[in-house]
Amino acid sequence: MSAPAGAVVLRAEGISKAWSTPVLDRVSLDLRGGEVHVLMGSNGAGKSTLAAILGGLVPADAGQMTLGPIPHAPRSRAAAEAAGVVMVLQEMNLFPGMSLAENLFLDRLPSRFGLVDRATLHRRAVVALERVGLGELDPRMPLARLGVGKRQLVEIARALDRRCRVLILDEPTAALSARESDLLFDHIRRLVSEGVSVVYVTHRLDELPRIASRVSVLRDGRFVAEHLGGNVAPGRLIEEMSGRASPQGSAAASAPAGDVVLAVAGLERGARVRKVSLEVRSGEVVGLAGLVGAGRTELLRTIFGADPASAGSVRVGDGRAGLLRSPRQAVAAGIGMLPEDRRHDGLLLGQSMRVNALLLPGQPRARSGWIDRPAERRAAEAIRTGMEVDCTSIEQPVGQLSGGNQQKVVLGRWLAAGCRVLLCDEPTRGVDAAAKGTIHRLLREFVNRGGGVLLASGELAELRAICDRVLVMAGGRIVAEFERGWSDEAVTAAAFESAVPTSVEKAGHSS
Amino acid sequence: MNRTRLGEWGVLVFVWLGLVALFGTLADHFLSATTLTTVASRLPALAVVAAGMTLVIIAGGIDLSVGSVMALSGAVLGVAIVQWGWPLAAAIPVAILTGALAGLGTGLVTVGLGIPSFLVTLGSLEICRGLTYAVCDSRTLFIGAAIRPLAQPMPILGIPPTVPVALAVVVAAQAILSRTVFGRHLVAIGASEPAVRLAGIDTSTPRVAVFVLSGALAGLAAVFASARLGSADPNAGAGLELAAIAAVVIGGTSLSGGSGSVVGSLLGVLVIATLEAGLAQLGASEPLKRIVTGGAIIAAVAADALRRRWEGERG
Amino acid sequence: MNRTRLGEWGVLVFVWLGLVALFGTLADHFLSATTLTTVASRLPALAVVAAGMTLVIIAGGIDLSVGSVMALSGAVLGVAIVQWGWPLAAAIPVAILTGALAGLGTGLVTVGLGIPSFLVTLGSLEICRGLTYAVCDSRTLFIGAAIRPLAQPMPILGIPPTVPVALAVVVAAQAILSRTVFGRHLVAIGASEPAVRLAGIDTSTPRVAVFVLSGALAGLAAVFASARLGSADPNAGAGLELAAIAAVVIGGTSLSGGSGSVVGSLLGVLVIATLEAGLAQLGASEPLKRIVTGGAIIAAVAADALRRRWEGERG
Amino acid sequence: QGGCSRPAGPGNTSGGKADGRPRIALVMKSLANEFFATMADGAKAHQATAGNRYELITNGMRSETDVSEQVTLIEQMVARGVAAIVIAPADSKAIVPALKRAADAGVLVINIDNRLDPEVLAEAGLKAPFVGPDNREGARRAGEAVAKQLDAGDEVAIIEGIVTAFNGQQRALGLEDAATAAGLRIVARQSGQWEMEKANGIAAAMLSEHPALAAILCANDSMALGAAAAIEASGRRVLLSGFDNVPAVAPLLADGRLAVTVDQHGDRLAVEGIETALAILAGAAAPEDRTTPVDLVTGKP
Ligand SMILES: Nc1ncnc2c1ncn2[C@@H]1O[C@H](COP(=O)(O)OP(=O)(O)OP(=O)(O)O)[C@@H](O)[C@H]1O
Ligand SMILES: Nc1ncnc2c1ncn2[C@@H]1O[C@H](COP(=O)(O)OP(=O)(O)OP(=O)(O)O)[C@@H](O)[C@H]1O
Ligand SMILES: [Mg+2]
Ligand SMILES: [Mg+2]
């Protein structure tokens, strides 16, 4: 993209913010007209906090902001939006039970005498949805019918519909597939050409060359570097973000594959998982690629027994082939899972790292059900060191940890349990580059010790970095398999060619 | 969504028809116009309270104080008519206002201090009952002729005028819920209050307003109950909160907020009233009544759970 | 966490001391050994029920049936002693078992069908009350000398033997909660049931077990209550659920599950019992009693909410 | 008088006397019930007019059926150091042990309103003089008054109070006695739990189920008020009886919608109990049990 040309639109100077500890320390940032200003930094660097201050969600403790010539001190998100600063949050704030249209316009439902004008609402909703390529959806259908990716698009559509001078996007592509990301980038480019300025937070290095006009790097709440244009050497960025040299070499130092540790045969679950057969060998990381809604999450959950299968069988190692009826059976058989939504399904956010790391059927215990506290503390400390979890103590609630550290806690739990097979669903979504590297390395070490991993990811770069083989899913089936050395084009083509529209969304139309 | 709604209501209508058939067989005169009148005249008070409760629950709260608020409003109504000699037309608004004020207090404390409404209304339940005893000196007030016309069956329909009023309230509450900005915000608040706040919407006002509404409807219920009984009873409404919650939940509203319907609650009320009337006509013994009522609550909720599961599996 | 616990308990102890000082000034014999004894003898039944309720609420449920279950267990105890002539040592386990079975039923329905326990126990509340009336033919059963020793003050301490038993139960329940794998799982289930299930832990067994425990403790409470009355009263425990919930929440347990303590609930019980004792000694009028009790619930919860906010601000 | 503690236990003769006046506790059932509210008012008026001869503490329960709460009240009164407890028991058996403990602590116990079970009293070794009405007899006379206006074979229904309450049972028995004696047919009998609202629903159901119903006999006036509304809504002419003579039924008596109710003079009941206590405290011997009069109050025929 072209270098920033416009005048400064939004200027922030000396912004500081402390929660329980200082999070932002005298950070300054300026945003020029028609630029895409990318913010990068490790988990917890303060990117979202800075964005939230700009967007009026939280007040700064110190510092000033100006929007054009006038001071910018929004007291609320609504005030910021009125001034033309619109923000898409990192955590999705949508209402699954309500219709798409209502989700898009909840704070400004068209109404007459307090009565919602549905016709206008739906007309506007169709327009807003078309903007993000969801024009074919019925705005009356409940949001609950959409998968995570499409929900993210709805959230973005909500922001795009507002007249804005500044658009703040906090990790918008974390849940998007390549195709959807492309669509979003097209939009951003269009908005920029219309003079809108964008603040863009991401962890994905591969996106920089495609949209960044400028890249600012935050580390521990301080501004550390700024780069013009998007062509920055990844190694340098990682160094700036982490404050140390980036680990050399890919994590995929592949060992020869051994015996089959996981064999899935003819697994079915309604229309979402159809006759899936696959094998994972010891020493192997097998990837699952596919478009949003292809059924990867469902497949992993069905293998794990979290959702009931209607037919098929699963075998772990030399064990008996059969269906796993519950996660309990799966864990007993030697499988562990990193769920897609780790905050809800993987962790107890209010509980300590110690409790979460040892949340397993076989907790360290002395006799007849009584917890052996010293043994427990030792085990938790061992996981903390082994997994390089960054926390103040093992008593810190995991809700306060960064995404990457949260994921390390879940991973550490399964490794401590001694499982043979790990099912990983988007294990590094929203995780910074350094923590991502650590997680990949830990997974690699796990397979090198004889384990097997089945890993679903929407990020082709991740699949390339760590997988020995990649299976492509579409419409609940496995439609292609690639050995190392595959190209993005080939995988994407396979995912598209066989992509069948899901029956779920069709039903939404007909109602 | 509409299909689901029909499914939900279908189960209830089915349960209700089952009850009617059962009692029709067991009791000699169950299938009669008198029974209809009896059941119809018992509906209004519970129906409007359940309507208010539905909105409160959908918005993520609960109101345990409805029974006491109803008693308090009834006491005020009785004192206004009997002791101060006010005309009905003046006393009724005051009774409703009393309920609304009680609701306002609850709402302000709940929202202002950020305490679960379960606890605040557990407290206001006691406070309002105490105030009721204080207002009417713990005595039943006989209102009599001044208010009875409201509860006398109308010439042709055979139902008292309170019934259409209550139905209108239910329809209005349903419309508020599904057609107004206020109603949609309530649903959203029940689903996730922080998310609504983040969307730049004021959540305090609707959250307080829904308690005011629930209180006002409890006040209206007091008018209905006083009309039917011809008296204001300081002990009125004991256990009303549980009956209303049961009706709401039988009607398919989720106790955790964010979804539900007022019409469903009306069906829930109908089921409960029919069950009561049937058991009374059979002359069932007290133990049997209790066991059947309890079993019915569990059965209704279980049926709904099974229906959901079944629908979920079909896709 | 421990600092927070102390803070929580500190507020309660402070509230309690305030009450004692207040009543000590207003009523001339309040600060006496006899008052202590009477408060102490009132505690056991409510304390063990509140202990069970604490575990249920921490695990994300609620048990509205405790009062009826207590009455049912009491009726069985009475019938066993009076009509079948069983010795106390045989009748007590049967009473506790009755409670446990009622809890088992509740637990199985709740977990098996996936229905909120609020509704299931709303139903079993009615069912158990009906069964109670059926078991004892709606009559109070006088047990008499067989059971009274349990309620007689012990020689030196001046408190009945039920008090140390109840304290032991509270300590045991707290130990279960914070020291056993079962307790750990209960807290985890209350925080996020799906997360626990996906960690490969069986959640059904603990979820059912906690209702069995709550039922068994209601059965034990029935033994305490029967000892105090020398009789089995079919109406025992009406409203007990609300008193227990109030105690639990005053004690700092979150109604949404996932955190809390049994010791806190005991302090909650103490506050409630002291309030009751003080108001009774003053001979407060019924309206005043209600208003003060309600106000106290709200005040206690508000104080806790403000403390949290304040601690949150200090970080 | 400060908050300093004074021992109040067995053998403490000064206990119960503040300023030399005896302190008397009146423990009733629920003050939510009008009958007891009247009783409390009567006692307070007596205390005020009796020239402050004694100090009075009145207490009632939250709910009429919560026996254990009444036991708590008894214990608190002992702790407060009263000289006598005048009690209207919520249960004729279950509170005897608590009263026995009170008596052992030196407190005089007078039983009013609802008679304690003689067997249980004997078993516990407690003596408590009784002053109160005969509920069964009162109800029988009310039933009789209604039966006089009916013919043998006519259908009647009974709405009982809480089935576990002793006075409820007595009243139901009395009504039954009268109906049987007059050859009436009792076609329905249910509990209205003492409540107006419940009784209204039950009466309505009885009226639809029994088209020939000639009378409804209620065990208290609250339920009679509920039944009266149901009768009026049905447009039928059905005789009705109540019990307690609360002020609210006056208009119903005046126009004959309520045929009869029973006055047990609740206000005087407590006063007589207190007088008995004062007499015994002053040294008189414990009197014999005494049944107080009940009066029929009949409506316009
Ligand atoms: N509401 C809050 N209360 C307390 N601490 C908070 C709050 N919000 C954020 N923090 C803390 O502030 C720090 C910065 O968080 P922030 O979300 O800004 O980081 P980020 O750079 O966006 O990270 P990520 O890449 O994981 O999104 C973190 O340590 C976080 O735990
Ligand atoms: N609980 C549900 N109810 C309705 N539809 C669902 C549900 N869960 C998933 N779906 C739909 O089923 C399809 C398969 O979803 P799944 O989450 O398995 O896909 P995925 O390949 O993992 O994609 P994603 O990247 O969104 O996780 C999607 O269209 C999704 O919207
Ligand atoms: Mg962030
Ligand atoms: Mg997925």
Nearest to A348 among C179, C191, C202 (CB): C191
The pLDDT score that the predictor gives to residue B130 is 92
> Looking at CA atoms only, how far is residue B56 from chain A in angstroms?
17
d(CA A3, CA D19): 96
**Ligand 2 pocket, A149 CB below 6 A?**
yes
Mean pLDDT across the stretch A313-317? Answer: 92
d(CA C276, CA C288): 12
Q: Do C255 and B118 touch (CB under 8 A)?
A: yes
Do chains A and B touch by CB distance (3+ pairs < 8 Å)? yes
Q: Is residue C240 part of a domain?
A: yes
Hey, which residues does A337 pair with through a beta bridge?
A423
How open is the CA angle C40-C41-C43, to the nearest 5 degrees?
Answer: 65
Gyration radius (Cα) of chain C, Å = 20
d(CA B242, CA B44): 16
- Ordered strands of the A273-281 beta sheet: A273-281, A260-269, A311-316
**Ligand 1 pocket, A403 CB below 6 A?**
yes
Mutate to test the interface with B, among D208, D234, D236 (most CBs of B within 10 A): D208
Give the burial class of A239: count Cβ atoms within 10 A of its Cβ; 0-12 exposed, 13-18 middle, 19 or more buried: middle
Among chain D residues, CA nearest to C153: D101
Q: Is residue B14 part of a domain?
A: no
Q: Where are the alpha helices (DSSP H) in chain C?
A: 2-26, 33-58, 66-78, 88-113, 117-135, 162-179, 181-191, 193-198, 204-229, 240-250, 262-282, 286-314
Share of chain A above pLDDT 70, in %: 92
The upper half-sphere exposure of residue A365, i.e. CA atoms within 13 Å in the direction of its Cβ, equals: 19
Nearest to C133 among B109, B287, B297 (CB): B287
d(CA D267, CA D42): 4
CB pairs under 8 A between C and D: 153
Residue C314 confidence (pLDDT) above 70? no
Q: Tell me, what's the ipTM?
A: 0.83
The upper half-sphere exposure of residue A308, i.e. CA atoms within 13 Å in the direction of its Cβ, equals: 5
CB-based contacts of C136: which residues, under 8 Å, 6+ apart? C75, C78, C79, C232, C234
How open is the CA angle B176-B177-B180, to the nearest 5 degrees?
Answer: 55
Domain that holds residue C210: 42-314
Closest CA to B126 of C239, A299, A77: C239
How does B63-76 read in b/e, with b if 16+ C-beta sit within 10 Å? Answer: bbbbbbbbbbbbbb
Q: Taking a C-beta distance cutoff of 8 angstroms, is the pair A391, A384 a contact?
A: yes
Q: What are the CB-based long-range contacts (under 8 Å, 24+) for D8-13? A: D8/C29, D8/C32, D8/C34, D8/D78, D8/D79, D8/D80, D8/D81, D8/D105, D9/C33, D9/C34, D9/D105, D9/D106, D10/D104, D10/D105, D10/D106, D11/D106, D12/D81, D12/D106, D13/D106
- pLDDT tens digits, C48-102: 999 999 999 999 999 999 999 999 999 999 999 999 999 999 999 999 999 999 9
The beta strand positions in A78-137, using DSSP E, are 85-88, 111-112, 115-116
Give the burial class of D218: count Cβ atoms within 10 A of its Cβ; 0-12 exposed, 13-18 middle, 19 or more buried: buried
- DSSP state string for D2-30: -S------TT-TTTTEETTEEEEEEEEEE
Q: Give the CATH number for residue C160.
A: 1.10.3470
How does D81-100 read in b/e, with b if 16+ C-beta sit within 10 Å? Answer: bbbbbbbbbbbbbbbbbbbb
Residue D223 confidence (pLDDT) above 90? yes
Residue A190 confidence (pLDDT) above 90? no
d(CA D170, CA A461): 86
Q: What type of residue is C12?
A: L
How open is the CA angle B17-B18-B24, to the nearest 5 degrees?
Answer: 85
Band of pLDDT at residue A506, cut at 50, 70 and 90: very low
Residue A325 confidence (pLDDT) above 70? yes
Q: Do D6 and C35 touch (CB under 8 A)?
A: no
Mean pLDDT of chain D: 87
For ligand 1, mutation pick of A43, A91, A428 (most atoms within 8 Å of CB): A43
d(CA C50, CA C217): 9
Q: Are strands D21-30 and D17-18 parallel, antiparallel or unpaired?
A: antiparallel
Enter the DSSP assignment of A248.
P
Residue D10 confidence (pLDDT) above 50? no
Ligand with an atom nearest the CA of residue A403: 1
Per-residue CA distances from D274 to C29, D86, D112 (Å) = 22, 7, 10
For ligand 2, mutation pick of A134, A150, A272 (most atoms within 8 Å of CB): A272
Band of pLDDT at residue A252, cut at 50, 70 and 90: low
Residues of C in Cβ contact (< 8 Å) with B287: 130-134, 138
Phi, psi of A422 (to 5 degrees): -120, 130
Gyration radius (Cα) of chain B, Å = 19
> Looking at CA atoms only, how far is residue C268 from chain B in angstroms?
14
- pLDDT tens digits, C170-182: 999 999 999 999 9
Residues of C in Cβ contact (< 8 Å) with A396: none
* Domain range summary for chain A, segments of one domain joined by +: 8-242, 260-348+419-495
Q: Do C231 and D91 touch (CB under 8 A)?
A: yes
Homologous superfamily in CATH for domain A260-348+419-495: P-loop containing nucleotide triphosphate hydrolases (3.40.50.300)
Residue D9 confidence (pLDDT) above 60? no
How open is the CA angle A178-A180-A186, to the nearest 5 degrees?
Answer: 105
Residue D99 confidence (pLDDT) above 50? yes
Structure tokens at A501: 């529209």
Residues of B in Cβ contact (< 8 Å) with D188: 283
Structure tokens at C192: 């996020």
Total domain count for chain B? 1
Task: Using the Cα atoms of residue B87, residue B93, residue B95 and residue B98 in order, give the sign of their dihedral.
Answer: negative
- pLDDT tens digits, C206-224: 999 999 999 999 999 999 9
Mutate to test the interface with C, among B111, B211, B291 (most CBs of C within 10 A): B291
Residue D15 confidence (pLDDT) above 50? no
- pLDDT tens digits, D58-98: 888 877 777 888 888 898 898 888 999 999 998 888 889 89
HEC-encoded secondary structure of B8-67: HHHHHHHHHHHHHHHHHHHCCCCCCHHHHHHHHHHHHHHHHHHHHHHHHHHCCCCCCCHH
Residues of chain B with confidence (pLDDT) below 50: 1, 315
Q: What are the CB-based long-range contacts (under 8 Å, 24+) for A318-324? A: A321/A263, A321/A265
> Looking at CA atoms only, how far is residue D259 from chain B in angstroms?
17
Structure tokens at A353: 């790292």
Q: Is residue C202 part of a domain?
A: yes
* Out of B277-291, C96-110, D14-28, D138-152, least confident range: D14-28
Residue C6 confidence (pLDDT) above 60? yes
d(CA A69, CA D247): 78
Q: Is residue B285 part of a domain?
A: yes
d(CA B193, CA B199): 10
CB-based contacts of A397: which residues, under 8 Å, 6+ apart? A349, A350, A351, A352, A353
The pLDDT score that the predictor gives to residue C228 is 87
Residue D34 confidence (pLDDT) above 90? no
Nearest to B181 among A77, A95, A116 (CB): A116
Q: Is residue B192 part of a domain?
A: yes
The beta strand positions in A22-117, using DSSP E, are 22-32, 36-40, 62-67, 70-71, 85-88, 111-112, 115-116
Band of pLDDT at residue A254, cut at 50, 70 and 90: low
Tell me, yes or no, if C38 comes closer than 8 A to chain A by beta carbon: no
Tell me, yes or no, if B258 comes closer than 8 A to chain A by beta carbon: yes
Q: Which of residues 157-186 of B touch D (CB under 8 A)?
A: 160
Q: Taking a C-beta distance cutoff of 8 angstroms, is the pair B20, B235 a contact?
A: no
The rounded Å distance from CA D134 to ligand 4 centre is: 77
Enter the DSSP assignment of D254.
H
A250 sits in the region (left: phi over 0; alpha: psi -120 to 50; else beta) called beta
The pLDDT score that the predictor gives to residue A511 is 33
The beta strand positions in chain B, using DSSP E, are 141-142, 231-232
Residues of D in Cβ contact (< 8 Å) with C33: 5, 7, 9
Q: pTM score, two decimals?
A: 0.86
Residues of A in Cβ contact (< 8 Å) with C315: 19-20
C75 sits in the region (left: phi over 0; alpha: psi -120 to 50; else beta) called alpha
d(CA B33, CA B35): 5
Closest CA to B102 of B132, B54, B69: B69
Share of chain C above pLDDT 70, in %: 96
Mean pLDDT across the stretch A194-221? Answer: 89
Terminal CA-CA length for chain C: 13
The pLDDT score that the predictor gives to residue C307 is 77
The rounded Å distance from CA A473 to ligand 4 centre is: 11
Query: If interface means Cβ-Cβ distance under 8 Å, which residues of chain A face chain B?
Result: 57, 76-78, 81, 89, 93-99, 102, 106-107, 109, 111, 114-116, 140-142, 270-271, 503-504, 507, 511
Residue A436 confidence (pLDDT) above 60? yes
Q: Taking a C-beta distance cutoff of 8 angstroms, is the pair D168, D194 a contact?
A: yes
Residue C252 confidence (pLDDT) above 60? yes
The rounded Å distance from CA A297 to ligand 2 centre is: 7
- Ordered strands of the D213-218 beta sheet: D185-191, D155-160, D213-218, D239-241, D260-263, D295-298
Q: What type of residue is B87?
A: P
Structure tokens at B46: 């519970």
* Out of B197-201, C259-263, D128-132, least confident range: B197-201
Longest dimension (CA), chain D: 69
Higher-pLDDT residue of B253, A247: B253
Q: Taking a C-beta distance cutoff of 8 angstroms, is the pair A139, A118 a contact?
A: no
d(CA A78, CA A72): 13
Domain A8-242 CATH assignment equals 3.40.50.300:
yes
